[in-house]
Amino acid sequence: MPGVVPSPNAWYHPDAYALENAHVDPDRRVDAVLREVAGWAGLDVVDVGCGLGVMLGRLAGLDPGPGEDAAAAARGAARSVVGVEPHPPLRGRAQRRARALDPAGARVRVVAGTAQALPLPDASVDVVLARWAYFFGPGCEPGLAEAERVLRPGGAVVVVDTDASRSTFGGWFARARPRHDAAAVRRFWRRQGFCERGVDVRWAFPDRASFEAVVRVELPPALADEVLAAHPGTALDDAVAVRWRRTPGRPGSPTDDPADDPAGAAVGGRA
């Protein structure tokens, strides 16, 4: 599809990417912040670049988190969830996941599309979520404009990405991408009117082989060899930035003014 930005880990190493989704942030601290800032209960949500479809069940209340029972998950569930994924192999896996969650397709479905051309009508959803997908800073303006097109008044666009300015993994990430300027990315989102919340998360893998597999899809080979030689075990501290902007029309949270939520303010404890 035109304009698609490949995701090397998810596109070319989907099994390792599945391990990453299962064992990075096992406490779902990022999900808790997403619920706080987006509040999708009873609303219509689109997951842009949904990949393997990991978020579909969480958004629909069909995949309870740690310590959360099914009733609590259902109370916080979106009314409908549409996953949009441009890469056919990932889309196929996400569609199979969606059918397993919702065989009738009444609440959860996955369609082909891109961030710049969402296959949705104007003003048809309440939340646009992009989790490690396309919205990496300068250059993503077409996707932001498309998000505004499909959002209803008072809706929110929420972007999740790695915070390369802190944490052990953030340091590795920055070394792997020397042109990445975390401060410039933060300034970009501020200019776009986004609030930001930092979330400290942990990696917790069941074995060293799984840990190494994920490190190797995230980093170039030489750097992966170096950091793995210096870092034993199966755990790691990481940091995530959750950024959001709400369209006019529905009162938001007290932090819906960027000035009210200082960039980089962290929640949770680092493992």
Q: Which two tokens stand for residue 49?
A: 């670049």
Number of domains in the chain: 1
Q: Does residue 178 fall inside a structural domain?
A: yes
Q: Does residue 199 fall inside a structural domain?
A: yes
pTM confidence score: 0.91
Residue 60 · residue 46 · CB < 8 Å: no
The secondary structure of the chain in percent helix, strand, coil, rounded to multiples of 5, reads 40, 20, 40
Collapsing DSSP to helix, strand or coil, 112 comes out as coil
Q: Does residue 254 fall inside a structural domain?
A: yes
Collapsing DSSP to helix, strand or coil, 186 comes out as helix
pLDDT score recorded for residue 8: 78
Collapsing DSSP to helix, strand or coil, 150 comes out as helix
pLDDT score recorded for residue 66: 81
User: What mean pLDDT value characterizes the chain?
Assistant: 91
The angle at the Cα of 161, spanning 208 to 18, to the nearest 5 degrees, equals: 40
Nearest Cα to 157, choosing from 261, 240, 77, 245? 245
pLDDT score recorded for residue 270: 30
pLDDT score recorded for residue 113: 97
Q: Tell me the percentage of the chain whose pLDDT exceeds 90.
A: 80
Q: Does residue 1 fall inside a structural domain?
A: no
pLDDT score recorded for residue 256: 57
Residue 172 · residue 196 · CB < 8 Å: no
pLDDT score recorded for residue 54: 95
* CATH value at residue 86: 3.40.50.150
- Counting as low any pLDDT under 50, the low residues of the chain are 251-255, 259-260, 262-271
User: Got the DSSP string for 187-254?
Assistant: HHHHHTT-EEEEEEEEEE-SSHHHHHHHHHHHS-HHHHHHHHHH--SSEEEEEEEEEEEE-TTS---T
Q: Does residue 2 fall inside a structural domain?
A: no
| Domain with 52 in it | 8-267
Query: How many angstroms from the chain centroid is the CA of residue 103?
Result: 25
CA distance 97 to 191: 37
